[in-house]
Amino acid sequence: MQYKSQAVAKPYFIAAIGLFVGQILFGLIMGLQYVVGDFLFPAIPFNVARMVHTNLLIVWLLFGFMGAAYYMIPEESESELFSPKLALAMFWIFLVAGALTIVGYLTVPYAALAKMTFNDLWPTMGREFLEQPLITKLGIVVVALAFLFNISLTILKGRKTSISLVLLLGLWGLAVFFLFSFYNPSNLVLDKYFWWWTVHLWVEGVWELILGSLLAFVLIKVTGVDREIIEKWLYMIIAMTLITGIIGTGHHYYWIGTPEYWQWFGSVFSALEPIPFFMMTVFAFNMVNRRRREHPNKAATLWALGTGVMSFLGAGVWGFLHTLAPVNFYTHGTQITAAHGHMAFYGAYVMVVLTIISYAMPMLRGRAANSGKAQVMEMWAFWIMTVSIVFITLFLTAAGILQVWLQRVSTTPLGFMAAQDQVALFYWLREITGVLFLVGLVTYVASFFVGGETKEAA
């Protein structure tokens, strides 16, 4: 670690991993409820478990992004963080607000939570992924602004690199597009239309800028390849991301009341969305092959390569699978969407956050890399989690294809629940694979506690 203030990244990373564990536990609860419907009912109904599962994911990724920025920006700017104290204060505010929100979901009925937090004054709750009470949403805005203020001023007073510019753009975009979560008209079509300006323009837009810059940062460090080359790749990748992804928003506008022309715009542009992910894979492998140093942190390199491959498969290939309007007509709102969602989030955002943690955490603990033993364990965790998510995705895809056939294509269509009963086998297989994922995650956490010989950080 070259700058003292980079240390504030550490609590962010620890919180991220802790919440990740919580996310997976609730995922397992939901997975079991798919086949054992009365599991934990009425204590934790499915919708509550799902809110906790998805909200924890979002929050821990945000912790990861913020930790990454606090670690990267001082090094990129060659300057101490503007205010480490503000960063620490925001950490605690965000953690407490997040924890209280989750406790709220779990302890009172959602309608009571809405009432307690004065949702009727300005209704924003009860929409997928944006279930947080108004006060939490406002808290997110405050934390994001304080964070952006801190990061922006650090960059302004120091060296300005393309990596920090792209990261900054991504993070500002994240904050700006979150503002659409406060717009909730009575007209469902308008509500849905602009809901996607938060959700799509986050995960298929500005978050990819963050992803790209984190990946580029780690690749510079572990490969020693010239910054000019890496930053050129970064710009080309994110250029393709936004050129395809912005109008790609149209693939959400096929069946929600919006005009037919979105079927053309959405299909054509989102069919191109795999390109930037493919470039990312080529980029990662190319840079590692052309490496000019042997960095002792092999695990971080593995995560970086894994991000390229898995984001291409999950976001690129599995996205393409159901993005063309004539296909999506049948697959919209089925387990196919769930399959894509799981591999895309893992491959792109989970893996890139674990990449930066893998690279930065040893530095934050005063060594260039973890011991060989710890790295082997971390790499086991990589493989167990990655293989698990591949099989979770395959099983959900199988369930989805059968569901589409039984419920929507067959000449004697089954009702929703009857079709679900027919595909239960695949939900069981998914749940078993989910347990394997947890084993991988426990292995990952355990790898932080493995000692052994390490070299001091340079």
Partner 1 sequence: MSQAFTKSMARNIFFGGATFFFLLLVALSFDTMQVLPKRDHRENITDAVARGKNVWEKNDCIGCHTLLGEGAYYAPELGNVYKRRGGEFVKAWIKSRPAEGTPGNRRQMPQFNLTDQELDDMVAFLKWTGEINTNNWPPNIEG
Which residues in 324-363 contact partner 1 (CB under 8 A)? 329-330, 332-335, 337-338
Residues 18-77 that bind partner 1 (CB under 8 A): 30, 33-38, 41-42, 45-48, 50-51
SS3 state of residue 456:
strand
> Helix 134-157 vs helix 162-178: angle between axes, to the nearest 10 degrees?
160
Q: How far is the CB of 422 from partner 1 (least distance, A)?
A: 13
User: How far apart are alpha carbons 182 and 195 in whole angstroms?
Assistant: 9
Q: How far is the CB of 234 from partner 1 (least distance, A)?
A: 8
Q: How far is the CB of 359 from partner 1 (least distance, A)?
A: 23
User: How far apart are alpha carbons 280 and 12 in whole angstroms?
Assistant: 26
Question: Is 251:327 a contact under the CB 8 Å cutoff?
Answer: no
As given in the structure block, the two tokens for residue 86 are: 């503000």
Which residue matches tokens 């053309």? 264
Residues 149-168 that bind partner 1 (CB under 8 A): 162
Closer CB to partner 1, 6 or 263, in the complex: 263
395 makes contact with partner 1 (CB under 8 A): no
**Phi, psi dihedral angles at 367 (to 5 degrees):** -145, 155
User: How far apart are alpha carbons 189 and 78 in whole angstroms?
Assistant: 48
Of the candidate residues 172, 183, 265, 428, the single one contacting partner 1 (CB under 8 A): 265
Closer CB to partner 1, 330 or 391, in the complex: 330
Q: Which residue, among 300, 451, 437, 308, has the nearest Cα to 361 in the 3D structure?
A: 300
Q: How far is the CB of 442 from partner 1 (least distance, A)?
A: 27
x/- site string to partner 1, residues 177 to 196, per CB under 8 A?
-------x-xxxxxxxx---
Of the candidate residues 243, 275, 429, 450, the single one contacting partner 1 (CB under 8 A): 243
Other residues' Cβ atoms within 10 Å of the Cβ of residue 379: 18
User: How far apart are alpha carbons 149 and 143 in whole angstroms?
Assistant: 10
Task: Find the radius of gyration of the CA atoms of the chain.
Answer: 22
Q: How far is the CB of 354 from partner 1 (least distance, A)?
A: 26
Q: How far is the CB of 27 from partner 1 (least distance, A)?
A: 13
x/- site string to partner 1, residues 419 to 458, per CB under 8 A?
xx--------------------------------------
Interacting stretch for partner 1, rule CB under 8 A, among 77-85, 215-223, 411-419, 441-449?
Answer: 411-419
List for the chain the helix, strand, coil content (%; round to 5).
Answer: 80, 0, 20
Q: How far is the CB of 332 from partner 1 (least distance, A)?
A: 4
Interacting stretch for partner 1, rule CB under 8 A, among 18-26, 144-152, 254-262, 359-367?
Answer: 254-262
Interacting stretch for partner 1, rule CB under 8 A, among 93-101, 132-140, 304-312, 415-423?
Answer: 415-423
Question: Is 307:284 a contact under the CB 8 Å cutoff?
Answer: yes
Contacts of 55 (CB under 8 A, 6+ apart): 101, 102, 105, 129, 131, 132
CA angle 450, 95, 39 (to 5 degrees): 80
Q: How far is the CB of 409 from partner 1 (least distance, A)?
A: 8
Closer CB to partner 1, 300 or 399, in the complex: 399
